Chains A and B, each alone.
Chain A
Amino acid sequence: MWYLCVFFHRLLDYRKAEVESLAQLFSNEDQEYQCLQWRLPLHHHPDSPFHFVDLPSEDVAKSIANRSILVKGMYELWGEGGSYEELEECIRNYPDERKLPYLDSNSTFKINVDTFGKVISLQKQTQRIQGLSYIPFKGRVNLKNPEHKFWLMETDDYGASNGLPPMVQKRIFFGREIGGADRKLLPTYQLKSRTYLGPTAMDAEMAFLMANQALVTPGKLVYDPFVGTGSILIAAAHFGAMTMGADIDIRVVRDGRGPDCNVWSNFKQYGLPMPIALLRADNNLPPWRTGLKEVFDAIICDPPYGVRAGGRKSGGRKLMKGVIGPYIVPDDKRTDHIPSTASYSLVECVHDLLDLAGRMLVMGGRLVFFYPVLSEDDNVDNHFPEHPCFKLIATSEQILSSRYSRVLLTMVKTSPYTEDIAEAARLKHLDFKENHLKWLEDGNLHSAVFSPTDPQSNGAADHAKFTKEPKPKYRGKYV
């Protein structure tokens, strides 16, 4: 059945992906991943908050809406039109057997008026509600806790204040609410309320979106190989998952900033179950026993790709091939020795992550992680990392500056990790070790993002601006 799905006007690229993931989660079918069918209302832009979506049942629609972060509401549409006359005709034609159960005299109800892109006065809202008198409401009005909520939604001129192209004609919707996101989660978990934070702690809203993309449910085991202060695992734990995290920096995972300000205390603060395990390990040389595979239901992470924080791995001096010979730790210094680390390039980091996920995820398990994209590159489109075990099912871009974006990639494990794949990964690993310096230079993302623009190339850039379709303005910081 088709439902009207109204989104918050935020993180535009993430909205449909979230609903699709949740549909997979709540449809309870072990089938291969299937795309949902979407339809736009008349005259609406693809970035509009209003969409129609085909879902298997009202229960599924309700579960999706209530679990989501970006769905403002999911509605059973009773009528729509370009004018109030059209709307009335449409509502009158909507079958009685769909309407009457919700108009019953024993029920309580409330009508909300909502507008997108403009504000209307309370007086006008009341007029609009009174204008619906042709619907035979028999129940009692209850503004605080109604059984049925109805929404009258108007959209016109939404382009002007939200960066969308202007509408040809206004559109009015009337429908019964089925469910909506519980955004109260966000103030509860917002970073500024959290005791222990690192410089790259994941924003709460994004962490919940990532957990939704990863289909986190109670009893699943979720792993973050770059756990840091645990911000991603907190979202996973909120949805009931068993969590496990590793980090190469022992100060972050073990010590934090004291006994009441560390990763454990972050979980305690929200009354969440503690992670099943935190360990200090190197994603480049993971300490998993041979034969261990398919244990994690999801791997969710924000790899250190060197823009805000650089990655580190074991090694350091030894790996600088030909510069310094292999380094031997003297026996009497071993106990408290702090091993040196080497830079961990983006290419190598992503390779290791995919290989780890290929081995350690269950079949159908999900790998959800961020990948940086420079907007200057013309060939960035669809150039994401690949792995024979995985199918890429969603890419959601968040523009962070005029130069770069991060894209949330959602991958599903569709083929088992074979010996051939393991061997290919091992060779690649050796190759990375041999060519350490080369990869380091290749992965120099930081300077591309932060260095001042070269005045020489400005002319060319200007030229490119005219030839290339500029990104819409509203896809910025606030949306």
Chain B
Amino acid sequence: MRLLTHNMLSSNIKGVTNGFPLRIEIEKVVEKQVDFNADFLRNMFPKIEWKALVGAAHTLGYVELPEEVEPSRLDSEDFLRKFHHALLELHLEEGALVCPETGRRFPVSKGIPNMLLHEDEV
């Protein structure tokens, strides 16, 4: 699971009002190379919850992202490279996403988060 995915997901258990961002529990992290595409990054940037991305990257041990960011930074190749790495190249291969409100664990195995709810959660 890339951090882009993490940035899009929340816990959608019935009654949960604040299911984002999901806490990350790590068992195994891998890095996978992805082709760099500046246009894609610029398109995605306004849709990203920056704080959540920085937090998730920290959890995975990547601390190069600035805490606050101005859209003007998108002109900097150096910044885009870091953004690219954090957003697309860090993978949570094994672990879990944990709902911040209820503590429910959504397991991540073989890089695939299982977001399906139990019967009493829908």
Q: Do the beta carbons of B20 and A290 come within 8 Å of each other? A: yes
Nearest-neighbour CB distance to chain B for A356, whole angstroms, equals 13
Q: How many residues of A contact B (CB 8 A)?
A: 43
Cα–Cα, bound, A274→B11 (Å): 25
Tell whether, in the assembled complex, residue A287 and residue B118 are in contact, meaning their CB atoms are under 8 Å apart.
Answer: no
Q: Is A476 an interface residue (CB 8 A)?
A: no
Closest to B120 in A: A328
B40: which A residues are within 8 A, CB to CB? 219-221, 242
Tell me which of B56-64, B66-74, B107-115 binds A: B107-115
Cβ-neighbour of B44 out of A255, A287, A295, A327 (below 8 A): A295
Contact status A279-B1, CB under 8 Å: yes
In the complex, chain A residues 246-265 whose Cβ is within 8 Å of any chain B Cβ: 248, 250, 253-255
CB distance from A288 to the nearest CB of B (A): 6
Sample of 6 A–B contacts (CB below 8 Å): A242-B37, A254-B109, A255-B110, A279-B112, A280-B112, A329-B118
Which of A289, A294, A295, A337: most chain B Cβ within 10 A? A289
B-chain residues with CB within 8 Å of residue A339 when the two chains form the complex: 116-119
Residues of A within 8 A of B88 (CB): 276
- A contact set with B: CB distance below 8 Å: 218-221, 242, 244, 248, 250, 253-255, 273-274, 276-282, 285-290, 292-295, 314-318, 326-329, 334, 337, 339-340
Residue B2 contacts which of A221, A276, A280 (CB distance < 8 angstroms)? Answer: A276
Pair B9/A289 contact, Cβ less than 8 Å:
yes
* Complex partner residue of A315 from B8, B34, B109, B119, CB under 8 angstroms: B119
- B window 1-26: CB within 8 A of A: 1-2, 4-5, 7-12, 19-21
Residues of chain A within 8 A (CB-CB) of B12 are 285-287
Closest residue to B49 on the A side, CB-wise? A289
CA distance A337 to B117 in the complex (A): 10
Q: Is the CB of A282 within 8 A of B117?
A: yes
Q: Are B112 and A292 in contact (CB under 8 A)?
A: no
Give A328 to B117 CA distance when docked, in angstroms: 12
